[in-house]
Amino acid sequence: MTQGSTHPGPDGREQGRLDTGVPHIARVYDYWLGGKDNYAVDREVAERIIATGNPVIANARANRAFLGRAVRYLAAEAGVRQFLDLGTGLPSSGNTHEVAQRIAPETRVVYTDNDPIVLVHARALLTGSPAGSTTYIHADVRDIDKILEQARQTLDFSQPIAVVMAGLLHCVPDEDDPAGIVATALAGLSSGSYLALSQPAADINATGMARAAGVMDQLMPVKITYRTQEQVARFFEGTELLEPGLVSASLWRPDSQADTAPRSVWAGVGHKV
């Protein structure tokens, strides 16, 4: 892909532009996870943030590990067979459909993201089991009504659905009403549905996170908002938080012998009763 290039969608029409001269949070995150789907400008930002001394790689890995454990719980123990993964980011190991369909091959998963490069890779790599369904919607989470409408083509909203927002809402500033976005998503779900959500923390290693935020503000075109535990807890209104509640991502039902050092990411799973 060249800077500013376009790419064809499933109908053969061009579907947006890939600007490799501007850093994107999904590609920066991919770099921290050891991925290769990033560009020099993304790597520069990622390294500048690492240089602040903030353990962003450990935070990113803790967030990714939380996603895997949450989806595994929802598929294996809660019996969820439908997932709506908002702001999925670039495909990595342990994607939502891989974890869920390994447990229940008939699981249906809808992914969404607003980055054109994610769209390209999702169509190529996010393929599910023959028994289930895996689809992708190119949309911004701020257009949640559009996402829900299109997701109905794959998901049955009369049955429980798990909405996944793993490391997404820090890309939505307060003025864009992230709590309203979550509330709208939850309002359309049946009882018995779930919300799995994580968010970079402003109040765990606050000094280190503030240094990272300063670099983000200088170099990233999108405003990044870290939030306190109290602020993140508001996203779960209308649900009952499962044990152990809203905790550091590394402490949410960790696997045996897992790294449980507190990481600067709040994480939890809520149940819509």
Cα–Cα dist 233/206, whole Å: 18
Cα–Cα dist 211/192, whole Å: 40
In a domain, 167, yes or no: yes
Question: Which of 76, 80, 73, 68 is CA-nearest to residue 189?
Answer: 80
pLDDT of residue 1: 29
Cα–Cα dist 168/142, whole Å: 11
Cα–Cα dist 128/108, whole Å: 8
Amino acid identity, residue 51? A
Cα–Cα dist 67/108, whole Å: 17
Domain that holds residue 155: 15-271
187-226: pLDDT as tens digits: 999 999 999 999 999 999 999 999 999 999 999 988 899 9
Confidence at 125, pLDDT banded by 50, 70, 90: low
Confidence at 91, pLDDT banded by 50, 70, 90: confident
- Cβ-based neighbour number of residue 52 at 10 Å: 18
- Cβ-based neighbour number of residue 264 at 10 Å: 25
Asked if residue 151 lies in contact with residue 141, where contact means CB atoms within 8 angstroms, the answer is no
Top pLDDT among 36 and 46 is at 46
In a domain, 169, yes or no: yes
pLDDT of residue 90: 76
Cβ-Cβ contacts under 8 Å for 32 (sequence gap 6 or more): 46, 56, 57, 60, 61
Q: Which CATH number is 127's domain given?
A: 3.40.50.150
**Domain total in the chain:** 1
In a domain, 5, yes or no: no
pTM value? 0.90
- CA geometry: angle at 268 spanning 266 and 272, to 5°? 145
Confidence at 64, pLDDT banded by 50, 70, 90: very high
DSSP, residue by residue, 198-247: EEEBSSSSHHHHHHHHHHHHHH-SS----B-HHHHHGGGTTSEEPTT-SE
In a domain, 7, yes or no: no
- Cβ-based neighbour number of residue 157 at 10 Å: 15
Alpha-carbon torsion 33, 118, 219, 44, what sign?
positive
In a domain, 115, yes or no: yes
In a domain, 8, yes or no: no
Q: Could you tell me what percentage of the chain is helix, strand and coil, using 3-state DSSP and rounding each to the nearest 5?
A: 40, 20, 40
In a domain, 4, yes or no: no
